[in-house]
Chain A
Amino acid sequence: MTSRLLSALITLFGVVTLVFFLIHLIPGDPVEYILGDSARPADRNALRQQLGLDQPLLLQYSSYLTNLLSLDLGKSLHSNQSVTALLAERFPATLELALAAFIIAVLIAVPLGVMAARRRGTAWDSGAMTISLLGVSIPNFWLGPMLILLFSLWLGWTPVSGREQPGSLILPAITLGASLSAVLARMVRSTLLEVLNEDYIRTARAKGLKESSVIWRHALMNTMLPVVTLLGLQLGALLAGAVITETVFSWPGIGSLLIESIQKRDYPLVQGCVLLVAVSYLLINTATDLLYQLLDPRIRSR
């Protein structure tokens, strides 16, 4: 377990370094980008100094690392507010969206996968799997506008965008959760089919248990392990997928903040958004890894 944590730490360091060099790879002069061609030389120098760009790269890197330890990510070029504060303001909305998408995905996928496995080879099964294949193939930047068209504009059931009105979470959550539920349904189906062949399931049936009890209490419990792993890995991916979904619905989270700051060429803010999502992704994946070991003693002993 310690070796897992250690390797996660090294990876974390790598991710942090990658983000730094990503931003400093900008071809040409970022000051030029920010101020445009017509800026006065004095302004350029002032901005260069403010951004610390007049210092050698390695020095910039080391001060980036030390500032990071005190959660100081610099200031936004536009509002002059601290990047950390801006991120803290927006992060709850992204978490809320990702969790809601997660719950919706589970609520759709588990019944769908169980149904497909129980009626293996029937029209129900192939119907469920076709839906799931469609779910994987439909991009969320199309699903979003289509849901808006149907439920907000034609039926008038949900708000079009934003976060203030009640019910505004529903469409973004479905949009973000759709592809996860498609992958998950396939996984539930295939692991359940494997488990249903086991001896203890035959025993449970032989002692006269109802089929529903066999499936939900005996079989499904044992499919949880791979499912939990997939879910953990996907929760992190949901945070990244939120970038597009938030843009579609003007959801005020980290994703839409990232796109806004890219459009404004607000590089410290871009860096902060990328860093926050990447680090959360890594932390969630590491936590899943550890949880997996707790759930399955066989892996711990290895």
Chain B
Amino acid sequence: MKQRLAFVILLVWVAAALFEPLLPISPNEIHLSAILAAPSADFWLGNDALGRSVAGRLIAGARIAFVVAFSTVFVSALAGTVIGAVSGYVGGALDHLVSRVIDIMLAFPGILLAIALAAILGPGIENLIIAISSVGWVGFARLARSQAMTLRTREHITAAIALGSGQGRIVFRHLLPLMMAPLLVEASFGLAAVIVAEAGLSFLGLGVQPPQASWGSMIREGAGFLLVAPHLAIFPGIAIMLVVLSANLLGDWMRDRLDVHQYL
């Protein structure tokens, strides 16, 4: 029940983000007569300090949030899984090096590294994706590495080696398919984490730049009008909460459903 609701919420947001250009509300159209307007029949969620529709900006913000979240999770999952799986399977000096790098990355608070990277790379969506992926791959790498280390002694791997398969073939055809379930669970939690990270960086002014709408920058702009127009800060926060909560619930559900044991 909870999971179904979570799924529906996510689906509605993704659909709204996908079809944003077709919707009748624009994120950048300025209504000078209705600056800071409270929610009403004309403007469902009210208007911001420039008279732009909060509802329109929320949907445009969803578009950014999902673009960043899906690309970041894709890039970090791909990079992390390949690095982790190869390192765990091959072992030896390579694995030594990779696990050292993973240790060092984990010794670095993730959000701090993302802030530093975003600050150095400069604002913009691509840089956001690079900054968050540079932190995000580590979780996938650690997971894939430990999976590869337990899976490589399985009989079908021995059989593949006996048949003369190359190492690349073994990793990609015989190891990776078996890791899909835990990686999928990690990815759905990752989605929630990236959405918070994108909003956080944009809140700090290091992410999406105006006039583009991001949930994080909407909260920052709204924080200046808390007393006169609290709706500016309230609605984007509710949007983040709904999406993050849904992604986490979905992750929980998948973990139980796919029978992935608590891995650490």
Cross-chain contact A240 with B109 (CB below 8 angstroms): yes
Cross-chain contact A141 with B200 (CB below 8 angstroms): yes
**Chain B residue total in the interface (Cβ 8 A):** 43
Q: Could you say which residues of chain B place their CB within 8 Å of the CB of A138?
A: 237, 241
Interface with B: A14-22, A61-69, A71-79, A113-121, which one?
A14-22
Task: Tell me the A9-66 residues at the B interface (CB within 8 Å).
Answer: 10-12, 14-15, 18-19, 22-23, 25-27
B11 interfacial contact with A, CB 8 Å: no
Task: Tell me the B225-258 residues at the A interface (CB within 8 Å).
Answer: 226-227, 230, 233-234, 236-237, 240-241, 244-245, 248-249
Which listed residue (A11, A139, A270) contacts B119, Cβ 8 A? A270
Cross-chain contact B112 with A278 (CB below 8 angstroms): yes
- Least CB separation from B202: chain A residue: A141
Question: What is the CA–CA distance of A240 and B236 in the complex, to the nearest angstrom?
Answer: 23
Cross-chain contact B233 with A145 (CB below 8 angstroms): yes
Question: What is the CA–CA distance of A10 and B104 in the complex, to the nearest angstrom?
Answer: 9
Q: Could you say which residues of chain A place their CB within 8 Å of the CB of B108?
A: 15, 18, 278, 281
- Least CB separation from A153: chain B residue: B227
Interface with A: B78-86, B143-151, B203-211, which one?
B203-211
Interface with B: A168-176, A210-218, A256-264, which one?
A256-264
A137 interfacial contact with B, CB 8 Å: yes
Cross-chain contact A243 with B241 (CB below 8 angstroms): no
A239 interfacial contact with B, CB 8 Å: yes
Which listed residue (A15, A22, A153) contacts B120, Cβ 8 A? A22
Cross-chain contact A243 with B120 (CB below 8 angstroms): no
Which listed residue (A10, A142, A236) contacts B237, Cβ 8 A? A142
B73 interfacial contact with A, CB 8 Å: no
Q: Could you say which residues of chain B place their CB within 8 Å of the CB of A185?
A: none
B219 interfacial contact with A, CB 8 Å: yes
Cross-chain contact B241 with A142 (CB below 8 angstroms): yes
Task: Tell me the A225-243 residues at the B interface (CB within 8 Å).
Answer: 236-237, 239-241, 243
B223 interfacial contact with A, CB 8 Å: yes
B115 interfacial contact with A, CB 8 Å: yes
Which listed residue (A7, A22, A263, A281) contacts B109, Cβ 8 A? A281
Given contacts A25-B120, A139-B196, A146-B234, contact A153 B206 (CB under 8 A): no
A95 interfacial contact with B, CB 8 Å: no
A to B contact number (C-beta, < 8 Å): 116
Q: Could you say which residues of chain A place their CB within 8 Å of the CB of B237?
A: 138-139, 142, 145-146
Cross-chain contact B241 with A134 (CB below 8 angstroms): yes
Q: Could you say which residues of chain A place their CB within 8 Å of the CB of B206?
A: 262
- Least CB separation from A7: chain B residue: B103
Chain A binding surface SS class = helix
B5 interfacial contact with A, CB 8 Å: no
- Least CB separation from B249: chain A residue: A133
B59 interfacial contact with A, CB 8 Å: no
Given contacts A141-B200, A142-B240, A274-B112, contact A149 B226 (CB under 8 A): yes
Task: Tell me the A130-189 residues at the B interface (CB within 8 Å).
Answer: 133-134, 136-139, 141-142, 145-146, 148-149, 153
B199 interfacial contact with A, CB 8 Å: yes
A109 interfacial contact with B, CB 8 Å: no
Cross-chain contact A236 with B109 (CB below 8 angstroms): yes
Cross-chain contact A243 with B115 (CB below 8 angstroms): yes
B117 interfacial contact with A, CB 8 Å: yes
Cross-chain contact A282 with B107 (CB below 8 angstroms): yes
Cross-chain contact A139 with B240 (CB below 8 angstroms): yes
B50 interfacial contact with A, CB 8 Å: no
Q: How far is the CB of A187 from chain B (nearest CB, A)?
A: 12
Question: What is the CA–CA distance of A78 and B113 in the complex, to the nearest angstrom?
Answer: 23
A248 interfacial contact with B, CB 8 Å: yes
Q: Could you say which residues of chain B place their CB within 8 Å of the CB of A153?
A: 226-227
Cross-chain contact B109 with A15 (CB below 8 angstroms): no
Task: Tell me the A258-288 residues at the B interface (CB within 8 Å).
Answer: 258-259, 262-263, 270, 274, 277-278, 281-282, 285
Q: Could you say which residues of chain A place their CB within 8 Å of the CB of B222?
A: 145
Task: Tell me the B189-205 residues at the A interface (CB within 8 Å).
Answer: 192, 196, 199-200, 203-205
Binding site for B on A (CB under 8 A): 7, 10-12, 14-15, 18-19, 22-23, 25-27, 133-134, 136-139, 141-142, 145-146, 148-149, 153, 236-237, 239-241, 243-244, 247-248, 258-259, 262-263, 270, 274, 277-278, 281-282, 285
Listed by A's residue number, 5 A-B pairs whose Cβ atoms lie within 8 Å are: A12-B107, A15-B108, A145-B223, A148-B226, A262-B206
Binding site for A on B (CB under 8 A): 100-101, 103-104, 107-113, 115-117, 119-121, 192, 196, 199-200, 203-206, 216, 219-220, 222-223, 226-227, 230, 233-234, 236-237, 240-241, 244-245, 248-249
Interchain residue pairs A-B with the least CB separation, the first 6: A240-B109, A142-B237, A14-B104, A137-B245, A262-B119, A141-B203
New A-B pairs, 8, CB < 8 Å, besides A142-B219, A146-B233: A14-B104, A141-B219, A142-B241, A149-B230, A243-B204, A244-B203, A278-B107, A281-B109
